[in-house]
Structure 1
Amino acid sequence: MNSQSVLSFQLKKEQLFALRQIPLNALSPFTLDALPLPLSVETRSLSLRPDFQAALAILAQPRLRLEYRQATGDPSWRSITAYGSPGNGNQAFVVLLPSPEENLTLLYFASAADYIAWWLQNFARVALTAQPALSAHAFGLPTLLCLLQTVDSYRRLELEALLRYETADAFALSEETLRSHLHAAWSKQDFRWLSIALLALTPGLPQTEPQLSEQAFQTAFELGFLSSHSKATLQLGPQGQRLCRELQRSLLAPLGCEAMTLGENGLSSLARFFFLASQESNHLFSFSPASAAQLTFRHQALTCAALEENMTAWLAALCTAAANTEAAAAPLPITNRILCKTCGHLGNVGAKFCINCGSFLEKNPK
């Protein structure tokens, strides 16, 4: 990642007043009425910088929004949002990071490659050996929840065994135990359980208590994730043992993502994924573009180099789709108010002078 192509802006809310000069579309994180007025010479001078203007232009009229939800230590997540305005050769991205109080942190990337390099550095692991996927085919949400809940429950039993100085080689779970663990985790919204993190962090998934069906257990057995399938005894198969070993060690905070653009009927979802990074692999569960009731997943366990190639192709496809969406380029017009070009204050229609600075008010262009 070229440091010359990545710029960081630590901002106070008042420094966003320059956005008053740019019409905002529905993907923008800001609304005109919520934008502040300029309060100091310092904020005015920053607004004149070309790189800052380029970042604001993307935030005002993005064509692509990538919303990330990452689990934190408490039962909540932090939101990280990336914006792009692909088309006409523009490959820049702006990332909006959460900051304390009313401050903002903006990261401006001159190219998609710089943005992907930053993403990998912050969320991925340098895994050197590719791992086989859990299945060569797509599988449904109930099966994925079953797989993750089984891994979670085994990890819990193994940890309890270590605390008692016992071995965990002969553990066997039952369907009843898994359902009990899942219910307790859902009630507490405990993101340490991967099944709960999957539902809470990935936008667009059903936000109701998940149920483990008999068909999901049967599919897990057919995938080699379980080596025995009876209600009283659920033994991990080769695939389950591998995933359990990987996710026991150095698991980073899980991450959910949704890519959005603007369509004819408003906001439109382009793609979603759920991401887990372990010491040995980067696990990517990508969604099919289907309704919530018919969602299927494809799993990949990737090295960092393979993940970079995968994410580059994925982002290029998103940019192409967003650039071809004409509705995304149409800003929301400024109506019912007149914008003062001197100070950015919004005056009432019919007013001739700005009540904030006294400047003459020109009518908004049609």
Structure 2
Amino acid sequence: MDMKQGPVKMEVFKLEPGDIDHLFRRSGLTGNPLSVFRYNAEQAAVTSPSARFKTLTESPAFQTIARQLLEPDLKISFHTGGANAAEDQYYALLSKETSTVLAQFSSAEGDLLLLYFPGEKAFLEWWTGTYASPGMDDYPALFGSGILESEVLICALHCVDMYRRFYLESMLDYRGVVDVAASSADFGQLLKRALASGDKRWLLPALVEITPGLKSIPIALKPEHMQKIEELGFITSKDAVFTLAERSRLMGTEFISAWMNATGWQASALIKGEERSLSRVFLAVTAFTNHLFSFETGSGGEGRFRHQTANASELAGTLLQWTTALRRAVPAGAGPQRNFCGQCGGKISPDKKFCGHCGAAL
């Protein structure tokens, strides 16, 4: 699917931390477990909203924005970082009642920045323009088009990081040749150290640390996983010695010279009243392409993944298909429940037409 870039339409609102309680009160919403906010009635009673809050209340989209922020049907949690990029965490919030998307950011001071998009296409055009690389066409496939076990990806990205490590060591030692061989024991020890380090300057730790919920997927490395990365061209093995093959060298060189950033995200929805993960994705961005890894859990609880490379336009199209599928997967809910009067903040019964405290029409 091709998505042509053009001027991105969105509305921008900025709120102060205390405005959230007034947003609950004015909208009459109570919130749900997907929202990161909870209503503090006592705080709302003794504080006044900021001048910025008035701008939001005057928007025709006020109630829709409040609904998506406080009672979303679908939450996509993003975590950016990797390489030497600055870290950030933010959310995209969607509702089954509308096609709009609300992106929620927080500043270091706790201020809330809301970007309101008229639809998923507009949001994804903005997102790929901000976080992805333009990329090149026809970048070669690295893992094929099928589903593989997550351990295969763990081993392959470790090979890429090992090449990067050996390359840097050769420079520090003033050697013109990069060592590309390691014993099986050294391979395993370096893998354990990498996973334990949490150092997101390296590709493998970035994958595990940045992708929400990925640590919960069990990892059980087996000989067949090493055999698979050998078939894929990442290593050759002989007499308990692993030699990094062409694919490790090519991908390692790409991430040495052109790794820009990474983003991990997780989509979640309410299933029987509890937040449940629907999908996890990791994106490693280089100047050459966008490496997209999507994860799923097999029937036996094992982790599996797919990989594809894409330019920015192809990536936006893929993610549009992804969000469309997620919307279909979200269970039908009861809709927003207005339990507080938007005029005085008093508690009301769902079947009432007027507030019993101030008489305001509901």
2:200 alignment counterpart: 191
CA distance in 2, matches of 1:346, 1:290: 45
1:295 correspondence with 2:303:
yes
Residue of 210, 215, 218 corresponding to 1:201: 210
Say whether 1:342 aligns with 2:343: yes
Query: Aligned with 1:186: secondary structure?
Result: helix
The alignment status of 1:6 with 2:15, answered yes or no, reads no
Which of 77, 82, 86 does residue 96 from structure 2 map onto?
86
Whether the 8 Å CA contact 1:75–1:189 is kept in 2: the answer is: no
Structure 1 residues 153-302: aligned runs within 5 Å: 153-207=162-216, 212-226=221-235, 228-230=236-238, 232-290=240-298, 293-302=301-310
State whether residues 200 and 207 of structure 1, in contact with CA within 8 Å, keep that contact through their aligned partners in structure 2.
Answer: no
Q: Report SS of the residue matched to 1:167.
A: coil
Q: What is the identity, as a one-letter code, of the residue corresponding to 1:221?
A: E
TM value normalised by structure 1: 0.83
Maintained 8 Å contact 1:179/1:211? no
Change (3 A) 1:173 1:212: farther
Task: With a CA cutoff of 8 Å and minimum separation of 6, indicate the structure with the bigger relative contact order.
Answer: 2
Q: Unpaired segments of 5 or more residues in structure 2?
A: 349-355
Q: Partner letter of residue 309 of structure 1? A: G
Q: 2:39 is matched with which residue: 4, 16, 32?
A: 32
Q: Write the distance in 2 (CA, Å) between the matches of 1:154 and 1:54.
A: 50
C-alpha deviation, 1:297, in angstroms: 0.8
C-alpha contact 2:101 2:117 (8 A) present in aligned 1:
yes
In structure 2, distance between residues paired with 1:165 and 1:255: 34
Q: Report the CA distance shift for 1:97/1:153 in structure 2 as closer, same or farther (over 3 A).
A: same
| 1:66 has 2:71 as partner | no
Residues 143-200 of structure 1: CA deviation (Å, up to 9, x unaligned): 1110011111110110121233322344322322222222323333212222222222
One-letter amino acid of the structure 2 residue matched with residue 62 of structure 1: P
Distance 2:313 2:305 in 1: 22
- Measured against aligned partners, the alpha-carbon deviations of 1:8-49 in whole angstroms (never above 9, x if no partner) come to 222102222122233222222222237952515725632232
Task: Look up the match of 1:138.
Answer: 147
Change (3 A) 1:231 1:254: farther
**Distance apart, 1:270 and its partner CA:** 1.7
SS of equivalent residue, structure 2 residue 76: strand
Matched residues, number: 345
User: Is residue 2:66 matched to residue 1:56?
Assistant: yes
Query: Secondary structure of the residue that 1:308 maps to in structure 2?
Result: helix
Partner of 1:311: 319
Deviates more, 1:195-204 or 1:276-285: 195-204
Q: Does the alignment pair 1:19 with 2:28?
A: no
Deviation at 1:113, TM superposition (A): 0.9
Checking the alignment, whether the CA contact within 8 Å between 2:11 and 2:116 is kept in structure 1 is yes
In the alignment, the residues of structure 2 paired with residue 53 and residue 176 of structure 1 have an alpha-carbon distance, to the nearest angstrom, of 59
**1:102-121 equivalent positions in 2, closer than 5 A:** 102-121=110-129
Instruction: Report the AA paired with residue 321 of structure 2.
Output: A
> What is the Cα deviation at residue 343 of structure 1?
4.5
* 2:212 and 2:265 in contact (8 A); partners too: yes
Shift of the 156–40 alpha-carbon distance from structure 1 to 2, 3 Å rule, reads same
CA contact (8 A) 2:129 2:312 kept: no
Find the aligned partners of 2:252 and 2:83 in 1 and give their Cα distance.
21
RMSD: 3.2
Q: TM-score, normalised by structure 2?
A: 0.84
Q: Does the 8 Å CA contact 1:96/1:105 hold for their aligned counterparts?
A: yes
Give, in angstroms, the shift of residue 304 of structure 1: 1.9
- Give the Cα–Cα distance (whole angstroms) in 1 for the partners of residues 102 and 190 of structure 2: 40
Counterpart secondary structure, 1:177: helix
